[in-house]
Amino acid sequence: MCGIVGYIGQREAAPILMDGLDKLSYRGYDSAGIAVIDGTNKINVRKAKGKLENLVNLLETSPITGCVGIGHTRWATHGEPSDINAHPHTDVKGGIAVVHNGIIENHESLRNFLTAEGAVFISQTDTEVIAHLLNHLYKGNMKQALLRAISMLEGSYALGVVCDEEPGVLYCARNDSPLVIGEKDGECFAASDIPALLSHTRDVIFLKDKEIARLDKSGISVYDAYGTPCQHPLFHVDWDISSAEKGGYAHYMLKEIHEQPEALQKTYAPRRSQNPGDYAWLPISPEDARNLRKISIVACGTAYHAGIVGKYAIERLARLPVEAEIASEYRYRDPIIGENELFIAVSQSGETADTLAALREAKRRGARVMAVCNVVGSTIAREVGDANTLYTYAGPEIAVASTKAYMTQAEVMLLLAIALGDMRGTLPRERVDALLEELVTLPKKAEEVLKTEEHLQRFASTASQKKHVFFVGRGLDYALSMEAALKLKEVSYIFSEAYAAGELKHGPIALLQPGRLVVATITQPSLLDKTLSNLREVTARGARVVAICRESLQDKVRDSVEEIIAIPDADDLFAPLLAVIPLQLFAYCMAVARGCDVDKPRNLAKSVTVE
């Protein structure tokens, strides 16, 4: 989703802003722009629809100079992608420039009010109202104008603002949309995401909702909504910029698929204990675990699919009812959640607007809340608190399509199921020990599975022109199929659907005909016979079936499918984590074979910070 950068210092701002925008481009965007204050205190704006290269070309023919500026990559919400709708936006005189992430919900009433006051709007965006509003409120002090403006804005925003009457200052503000600021050696930086700052500083401040910041050569000052100065601890970013770079792989998605063994290991390591029954990492006491009546796992997209793995696993091991639900539905359906119930938000970014809103809704209703999150310091992690956040240690995930984050979210779900099963006494100790023991071997097995890449490349070269692909499975394999279908459709644009294998004959089988491609996941021995009889119904209609299958089940499956991609044996609970790797590689190879922009699929954004 949209990206923001800002700079004030002694160096030329334009190259620094462009470098920052490049680092944020993985989030997805449709246009970009920068505004820089020059030596005569004039704000110069350059913007261009499409890829950053277009803006680079524009800056070559029409350069801008100066040491203070803001930049933006836009992902259209109000108004089509165009040069005019791209940010920064300015007031009528061009003396105030604004970049904005988020959505201003009361933009229409503000637009009407400001138009009546003489403002002339040239774009269709909600952001432009902010520039005109600041101009309307500006009485010689931008800090005061910004504080008044944010008291009038409804909705979500991260803002970067520059003003020609205060040419040495960069202002920022946030509400429900992330903004990080940092300072080093007389230079200050702002960005909507850490990678844009990392080459300049590792010590950053996360602005809180309704706070504003004033950045100038003497440093950073943060104020609350009443203008009172606030102090924030510096957060030290300990991951390296190289972990956010491609490192020799053709795409981030492929690199991140290959990082999964390490991500699995890193996520389990801090939770591994020599003492049986030691779950110090889990903020739930054995007594609370026994008293739990229900768990709601709420998330969006891939994170939701990890939540479904959690539902199957926790219900199976801890004998506790679990609802897994999409956050955009949960937040508006008047959910029932009460005493002795636990709400878990799952989010890679920790910034997804719907997940955050669902979390706040659950909190408002008095639920106990936890989060499974990858980004330390993100809004969801902060709202839940570090103690109640089960961090996944996948490292920065840059590709829009989530892979290693899913893997570690599912791993945390399984760990949670084992811990709850142990604490509630529904899982015998020997089984707990065996599972935890096996978890240690999972990264090695995941390495093995990565070798299926060549097979999948070959397969994709014969299948990449398919228009439809169905994914089927039962139980945990169905949960996996949902994730596989999402991955394929988002990166290759092939229409793909997941069905519970047992559901096929209740409708979807009507779509099966000679040549259709069906990908079956088979990791659950107890469901094997049922799944095989479903697959025979599929092949009888002439469809082509390829199976992702556990080694030990291959012989029984061979006669019912055209092709098998085998994965090493593992416990029923862990085998799906291994099986997801060929499914991710399948989506990747299909997308590459079709010439798709794998890391930045059309219309998608990495972090969906608007509703």
Residues forming the active site: 2, 606
- From 60-68, 178-186, 299-307, 414-422, give the range in contact with ligand F6R by CB under 6 A: 299-307
Rule CB under 6 A: say whether 607 interacts with ligand F6R. yes
**Number of residues this chain uses to bind ligand F6R (CB under 6 A):** 15
Rounded to 5 degrees, φ, ψ at 497 are: -135, 150
Of 11-19, 34-42, 50-58, 347-355, which part binds ligand F6R (CB under 6 A)?
347-355
Residues 432-491 that bind ligand F6R (CB under 6 A): 486, 490
β-partners of residue 215 are 170, 220
- Footprint of ligand F6R on residues 196-215 (CB under 6 A)? none
Kindly tell me which of 91 and 490 has the beta carbon lying closer to ligand F6R: 490
With binding defined as CB under 6 A, does residue 90 bind ligand F6R? no
Q: Least distance to ligand F6R from the beta carbon of 347, Å?
A: 3
CB atoms under 10 Å from CB of 31, counted, come to 26
Q: Which of 37, 204, 300, 482 binds ligand F6R (CB under 6 A)?
A: 300
Gyration radius (Cα) of the chain, Å? 26
Choosing from 192, 296, 352, 521, the residue that interacts with ligand F6R (CB under 6 A) is 352
Complex with ligand F6R: residue 383 or 490, whichever CB lies closer: 490
Options 61-69, 214-222, 330-338, 348-356: segment touching ligand F6R (CB under 6 A): 348-356
- Which position among 135, 347, 389, 524 is part of the footprint of ligand F6R (CB under 6 A)? 347
Would you say 314 or 486 has its CB closer to ligand F6R?
486
Q: Is the peptide bond before 525 cis (omega within 30 degrees of 0)?
A: no
Stretch of residues binding ligand F6R (CB under 6 A), selected from 81-89, 91-99, 300-308, 460-468:
300-308
Nearer CB in complex with ligand F6R: 123/352: 352
Distances (CA, A) of 274 to 111, 261, 269, 271, 436: 62, 22, 12, 10, 11
Tokens of 248: 């020799």
Can you tell me the distance from the alpha carbon of 79 to that of 566, in angstroms, rounded to the nearest whole number? 48
Residues 159, 97 contacting (CB under 8 angstroms): no
CB of 303 to ligand F6R, least distance (A): 4
Q: Which of 90, 101, 349, 521 binds ligand F6R (CB under 6 A)?
A: 349
Stretch of 77-85, 148-156, 224-232, 345-353 contacting ligand F6R, by CB under 6 A: 345-353
Which residues is 297 bridged to in the sheet?
Answer: 324, 344
Identity of the residue, 66 or 301, whose beta carbon is nearer to ligand F6R in the bound complex: 301
Helix (H) or strand (E) holding 390: strand 389-391
C-alpha 424/C-alpha 294 separation (Å) is: 13
- 3-state SS of the chain: helix, strand, coil percent to 5? 40, 20, 35
Establish if 348 lies at the interface with ligand F6R (CB under 6 A).
yes
Q: Report d(CA 110, CA 390) in Å as an integer.
A: 41
Shortest distance in whole angstroms from residue 486 CB to ligand F6R:
6
Q: Is residue 443 reached through a cis peptide bond, with omega within 30 degrees of 0 on the bond before it?
A: no
Q: Does 302 bind ligand F6R (CB under 6 A)?
A: yes
Which one, 16 or 394, has the nearer CB to ligand F6R?
Answer: 394
In the complex, what is the shortest distance from the CB of residue 73 to ligand F6R, in angstroms, rounded to a whole number?
Answer: 17
DSSP state of 610: -
Token pair for 261: 């063994």
Name the residue whose CB lies closest to ligand F6R. Answer: 301
Q: Which two tokens stand for residue 503?
A: 């559901």
Q: Which DSSP letter does residue 271 get?
A: G
CA 557, 560, 561, 563 dihedral sign is positive
Q: What is the 3-state secondary structure (H, E, C) of 92-107?
A: CCCCEEEEEECCECCH
Binding mask 385-404 for ligand F6R (x = CB under 6 A): ----------------xx--
Neighbours of 437 (CB within 10 A): 10
Which residues are near ligand F6R by CB under 6 A? 300-303, 347-349, 352, 355, 401-402, 486, 490, 607-608
